[in-house]
């Protein structure tokens, strides 16, 4: 079938039956121009906004188009040369409340006329699409109270915070109640009905209000509810009684889960199914702070919430009450991962290159809790306790500090008794002292409750070993590369330990120094890095000078005046050692500064809601500790302060390491 298309030539306010046949479109096989007309549809429905609409017309004859041009709100015509979509209706916007219609006639000689009806919907009142109110009803959702949102109508944003535990399955699914003008409301593209449709508030929700005309307005609804937000893992603990001791465990029911993007569901724990755990306090000065740190002990070896590097019973919950950035220790751990890295082949194969885990968790409590700042003891029924940092317990274990286990036969064996050991310099709880400088020590492994042998035999061995080291360190030949201090200390783990503590300007380094010794290896290795919450100028104690202009070796590491602790100062007298530190620093400086930028950019952004919730419970501009400095004026300024201090500190180390 051949197709011929005719253009309309319309005359205003009259019926036009004008054949506008192009000369090259005449059908030589049918000069009379007769033939049946076929059209793809006989009804066209146009939106109030107007626009172009198309039909396809075919015929063996020459087709003409006619309509009442007096309507003035549309035109119709055939498109010359087009085989499909060749009948075009160009429709104006309808600002009236009523719909309107017209007929268009298609004619050809010898064929019946075809009438196409054009209908356009009304438009004026149907453009309204406003959200008037929005809340989450307490009764409908089993909440203690309704959640009312702050509504900024200019920016079309709504936000609210809810810090109570929601006791129901799928707590993120909440039923909103709202008022609006328009036809339909959608939540992230799905139609919802006020008071009926559950909506997931795990992430920010886009609420779209659609008018009858098809016009829409979007509103962003943000609910800060740490339990359901997908920023961090969540822990809810219910102790059988108040946790008041660092020594005595309390039976505790917990619910631990991780619904952050990419989580696998591994490491979840629900006491209803898996049994109770035990919890107690932890820390030295931090235990006396309002936001308390805890140690959690599972009934079996366990890797919680994806921390698969170790499978152990004991894990820690660090509160970071003094550190208003919440990430000083985390940043130091990231430095440790960059330096204590086996892939760069820098370290002795005997070194255990372990960095503790750092997993941020939103914590809730149901139970009694005493606020140290006020002394007030209250029962907290599913109340938010803040952002915590879940990490390893520093102990002998696979995936942690995997030194050799000492057994009963080893204490009488000249090789067996040489390891392994884990040592912490500890001015708070240490009960052993180095023979020469009286450095207070805690021996973390072997533990003092060993049942098969007397661990004091082992403690005497390692104390004597440290005494030999100190005698050499303060001897005349201490720089000797074979028989000096390097005979007793591993230089490379010591170098990386110093670089981290110096870059962080950590004045508390002495009380957080861990070392370990392996069996058959007559050296102490340094690590892991731990507890840098007083770094980056967050320590107001000034026993030894300004940490902003000095090496911590001289400005710290902080210790009480009654301790003459200068291992590091004596080591710094070795010019070869200083050169080795400077060389390692130069090779790793750019990487460490890049780590700083990455952490300060990514971590706060990844848990922005949790940070806001944490400082709603524990005010940002308050410092209960007598040791820590006040933070900057607000959280972003505190993060920027750490960035600037790191840059200043790096420039200082460039100079001081080379002196």
Distance CA 526, CA 568 (A): 13
* Model pLDDT for residues 12-26, shown as the tens digit of each residue: 223 333 333 332 234
Q: Identify the pLDDT of residue 561.
A: 57
DSSP 109: B
Distance CA 289, CA 598 (A): 30
Bond before 420 cis per omega within 30 degrees: yes
Residue 384, pLDDT > 80, answer yes
* Model pLDDT for residues 595-625, shown as the tens digit of each residue: 999 999 999 999 999 999 999 999 999 899 8
Distance CA 125, CA 96 (A): 8
If one compares 401 and 262, the residue with the highest pLDDT of the two is: 401
Burial of 177 per CB tally in 10 Å (0-12, 13-18, 19+)? middle
- Output the CA torsion sign for 257, 326, 251, 171: negative
Listed in order, the ranges of the chain carrying CATH 2.60.40.10 are 23-123
Q: Identify the pLDDT of residue 559.
A: 54
Q: At what angle do helices 575-606 and 608-617 cross, to 10 degrees?
A: 90
Residue 304, pLDDT > 50, answer yes
Q: Identify the pLDDT of residue 95.
A: 82
Q: For domain 126-224, say whether CATH 2.40.50.100 is its number.
A: no
Contact 366, 236 (CB under 8 A): yes
Listed in order, the ranges of the chain carrying CATH 2.60.40.2340 are 126-224
* Model pLDDT for residues 511-559, shown as the tens digit of each residue: 678 999 999 999 999 999 998 998 998 887 765 567 678 888 876 554 5
Question: Residue 435 corresponds to which tokens in the numbers above?
Answer: 């023979």
Q: Identify the pLDDT of residue 439.
A: 83
Lowest mean pLDDT among 1-15, 312-326, 415-429, 598-612: 1-15
Q: What integer best gives the mean pLDDT of the chain?
A: 90
Q: Identify the pLDDT of residue 510.
A: 57
Residue 590, pLDDT > 80, answer yes
Cα angle 275-276-277, degrees, rounded to a multiple of 5: 125
Beta strands 87-91 and 100-107, pairing class? unpaired
Q: Across residues 66-86, what is the average pLDDT? A: 91
* Model pLDDT for residues 105-155, shown as the tens digit of each residue: 999 988 999 999 999 988 666 688 999 999 999 999 999 899 999 999 999
Return the closest-CA partner of residue 389 out of 428, 332, 430, 338: 332
Q: How much of the chain exceeds pLDDT 70, in percent?
A: 91
The confidence band for 562, taking pLDDT boundaries of 50, 70 and 90, is low
If one compares 511 and 230, the residue with the highest pLDDT of the two is: 230
Q: Identify the pLDDT of residue 161.
A: 98
If one compares 372 and 205, the residue with the highest pLDDT of the two is: 205
Residue 239 Cα distances to 188, 253, 384, angstroms = 39, 6, 15
Contact 258, 233 (CB under 8 A): yes
If one compares 437 and 77, the residue with the highest pLDDT of the two is: 77
If one compares 588 and 25, the residue with the highest pLDDT of the two is: 588
Q: Across residues 150-175, what is the average pLDDT? A: 97
Q: At what angle do helices 635-656 and 575-606 cross, to 10 degrees?
A: 160
Which residues pair with residue 235 across a beta bridge?
256, 363
If one compares 208 and 36, the residue with the highest pLDDT of the two is: 208
* Model pLDDT for residues 464-485, shown as the tens digit of each residue: 999 999 999 999 999 999 999 9
CATH of domain 23-123: 2.60.40.10
Residue 461, pLDDT > 90, answer yes
Which residues pair with residue 233 across a beta bridge?
361
The confidence band for 213, taking pLDDT boundaries of 50, 70 and 90, is confident
Q: Across residues 418-438, what is the average pLDDT? A: 86
């Amino acid at each position: 079938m051949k197709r011929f298309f005719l253009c309309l030539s319309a005359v205003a306010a009259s019926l036009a039956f004008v054949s506008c046949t192009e000369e090259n479109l005449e059908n030589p096989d049918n000069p009379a121009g007769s033939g049946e007309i076929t059209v793809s549809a006989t009804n066209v429905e146009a939106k109030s906004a107007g626009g172009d609409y198309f039909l396809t017309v075919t015929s063996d004859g020459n087709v003409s188009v006619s309509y009442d041009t007096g309507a003035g709100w549309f035109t119709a015509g055939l498109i010359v040369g087009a085989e499909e979509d060749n009948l075009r209706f160009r429709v104006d916007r309808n600002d009236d409340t009523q719909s309107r219609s017209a007929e268009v006639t298609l004619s050809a000689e010898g064929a019946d006329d075809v009438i196409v009806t054009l209908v356009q919907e009304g438009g004026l009142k149907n453009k309204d699409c406003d959200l008037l109110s929005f809340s989450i009803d307490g009764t409908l959702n089993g909440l203690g109270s309704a959640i009312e949102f702050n509504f900024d109508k200019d920016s079309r944003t709504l936000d609210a915070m809810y810090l109570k535990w929601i006791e129901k399955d799928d707590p993120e699914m909440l039923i909103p109640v709202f008022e609006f003008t328009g036809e339909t409301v959608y939540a992230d593209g799905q139609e919802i009905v006020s008071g009926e449709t559950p909506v997931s508030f795990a992430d920010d929700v886009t609420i779209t209000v659609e008018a009858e005309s098809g016009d829409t307005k979007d509103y962003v609804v943000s609910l800060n509810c740490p339990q359901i937000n997908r920023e961090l893992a969540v822990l809810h603990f219910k102790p059988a009684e108040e946790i008041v001791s660092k020594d005595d465990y309390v039976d505790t029911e917990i619910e631990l889960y991780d619904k952050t993007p990419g989580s696998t569901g591994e490491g979840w724990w629900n006491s209803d199914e898996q049994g109770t755990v035990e919890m107690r306090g932890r820390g030295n000065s931090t235990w006396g702070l309002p936001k308390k740190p805890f140690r959690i002990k599972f009934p079996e070896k366990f890797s919680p919430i994806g921390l698969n590097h170790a499978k152990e019973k004991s894990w820690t919950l660090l509160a970071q009450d003094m550190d208003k950035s919440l990430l000083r220790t985390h940043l130091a751990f990231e430095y440790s991962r960059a330096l204590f890295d086996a892939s760069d082949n820098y370290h002795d194969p005997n070194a255990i290159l372990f960095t503790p885990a750092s997993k941020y968790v939103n914590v809730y409590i149901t139970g009694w809790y005493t606020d140290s700042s006020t002394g007030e003891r209250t029962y907290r029924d599913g109340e938010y306790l803040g952002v915590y940092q879940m990490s390893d317990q520093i102990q002998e274990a696979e995936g942690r500090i995997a030194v050799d286990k000492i057994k009963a036969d080893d204490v009488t064996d000249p090789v067996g008794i040489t390891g392994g050991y884990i040592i912490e310099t500890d001015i708070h709880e240490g009960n052993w002292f180095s023979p020469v400088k009286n450095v207070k020590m805690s021996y973390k492994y072997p533990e003092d409750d060993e049942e098969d042998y007397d661990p004091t035999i082992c403690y005497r061995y390692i104390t004597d070993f440290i005494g030999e080291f100190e005698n050499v360190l303060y001897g005349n030949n201490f720089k000797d590369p074979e028989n000096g201090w390097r005979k007793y200390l591993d230089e490379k783990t010591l170098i990386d330990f110093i670089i981290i503590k110096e870059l962080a300007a950590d004045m508390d380094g002495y009380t957080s120094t861990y070392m370990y010794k392996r069996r058959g290896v007559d050296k102490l290795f340094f690590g892991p890095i731990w507890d840098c919450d007083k770094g980056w100028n967050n320590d107001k104690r000034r026993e030894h000078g300004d940490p902003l202009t000095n090496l911590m070796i001289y400005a710290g590491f902080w210790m009480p005046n009654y301790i003459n602790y200068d291992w590091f100062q004596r080591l710094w007298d070795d010019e070869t050692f200083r050169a080795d530190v400077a060389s390692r620093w130069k090779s790793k400086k750019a990487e460490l500064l890049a780590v700083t930028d990455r952490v300060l950019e990514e971590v706060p952004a990844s848990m922005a809601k949790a940070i806001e919730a944490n400082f709603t419970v524990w005010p940002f501009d308050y410092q209960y500790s007598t040791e820590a400095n006040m933070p900057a004026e607000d959280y972003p300024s505190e993060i920027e302060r750490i960035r600037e201090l790191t840059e200043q500190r790096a420039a200082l180390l460039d100079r001081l390491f080379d002196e």
